[in-house]
Chains A and B, each alone.
Chain A
Amino acid sequence: MHLYACKKKQCYILNNCPKDVLLNAIGVRDGLQVSIVTKQPMGGPIVIRIKKREIAIDKSLACMITALAVT
Chain B
Amino acid sequence: MDCHQTKSNIKHPHDAKRVLLMGNPNVGKSVIFNRLTGLDVVTANYTGTTVSYHEGLIRHQGDQALLIDVPGIYGLNAQSKAEEVAVHMLNDGADLIICVLDATHLERNLHLAFDLQNYAIPIVYVLNLSDVAKRKGIDIDCDLLSKYLNAPVFETVAVKNIGIDLLKDAVFKTHQTTPPLTIEDPYDKSREIADNVTKETDVEIRFIERLSEWCIKPKTGIPILFLVLMLALGIIVGGGKTLRSLLLLPLVNNYYIPFITTLFEGFLPDNLLRNILIGEFGVLIKMIEWPFALILPYVLLFYIVFSFLEDSGYLPRLGVLMDGLFRKIGLPGNNIIPFILGYGCAVPAILGTRASGSHRERVIVVSLIAIAVPCTAQTGAFITLLGDRSIFALIFVYMISFTTIVLTGIVLNRVLKGKSRPLILEIPNLLMPDMRSLGKKIWIKIKHFILEAQVPMFLGILLAALITETGALDVIGTFLEPLVVGWLDLPKEASLSLLLGVVRRELAVMPLLEMNLTTVQLITGSVVALFYLPCISVLFILVKEFKIKIALLIAFSTFIMAFLFGGLIQLLLNLVM
Contact = CB atoms under 8 A, between A and B. Distances in A.
Interface of A: 20-29, 37-38, 40-45, 47, 51-58, 60-61
B108 A57 contact: no
A45 B74 contact: no
A61 to B, nearest CB: 5
Nearest to A54: B427
B324 interface: yes
B321 interface: yes
B200 A52 contact: yes
A42 to B, nearest CB: 3
B422 A61 contact: yes
A56 B424 contact: yes
Given A25-B108, A44-B323, 16 more contacts: A25-B111, A26-B108, A26-B424, A27-B105, A42-B324, A44-B320, A51-B107, A54-B212, A54-B427, A55-B425, A55-B426, A55-B427, A56-B423, A58-B332, A58-B424, A61-B424
A56 B323 contact: yes
A25 B73 CA distance: 10
Contact of A55 (B74, B104, B217, B424): B424
Interface residues on B, range: 35 or more
A33 B360 CA distance: 35
Residue of A27, A29, A52 ringed by the most chain B CB atoms within 10 A: A27
A17 to B, nearest CB: 11
B424 A20 contact: yes
Nearest to B322: A44
Given A25-B111, A53-B426, A40 B104 contact: no
Name the 5 nearest CB pairs between A and B, nearest first: A42-B324, A44-B324, A58-B422, A25-B74, A27-B108
22 contacts: A21-B79, A25-B74, A26-B108, A40-B323, A40-B324, A42-B325, A44-B320, A44-B323, A44-B324, A45-B320, A45-B323, A52-B137, A52-B200, A53-B427, A55-B426, A56-B425, A57-B423, A57-B424, A58-B323, A58-B422, A58-B424, A60-B422
B288 interface: no
Contacts of A28: 424
A58 B216 contact: no
A26 B351 CA distance: 25
Contacts of A45: 320, 323, 333, 423, 425
A61 B217 CA distance: 20
A45 B213 CA distance: 15
Contacts of B328: 42
Interface in B515-556: none
B320 to A, nearest CB: 4
A12 B209 CA distance: 22
B325 A22 contact: no
A18 B328 CA distance: 25
A24 to B, nearest CB: 7
A37 B108 contact: no
A43 B424 contact: no
Nearest to A28: B424
B479 interface: no
B424 A22 contact: yes
Nearest to B220: A38
B187 A22 contact: no
A52 B423 contact: no
Residue of B104, B138, B328, B425 ringed by the most chain A CB atoms within 10 A: B425
A16 to B, nearest CB: 16
A71 B422 CA distance: 30
B321 A52 contact: no
B136 interface: yes
B176 interface: no
Nearest to A26: B426
B327 interface: yes
Contacts of A25: 74-75, 108, 111
A42 B325 CA distance: 7
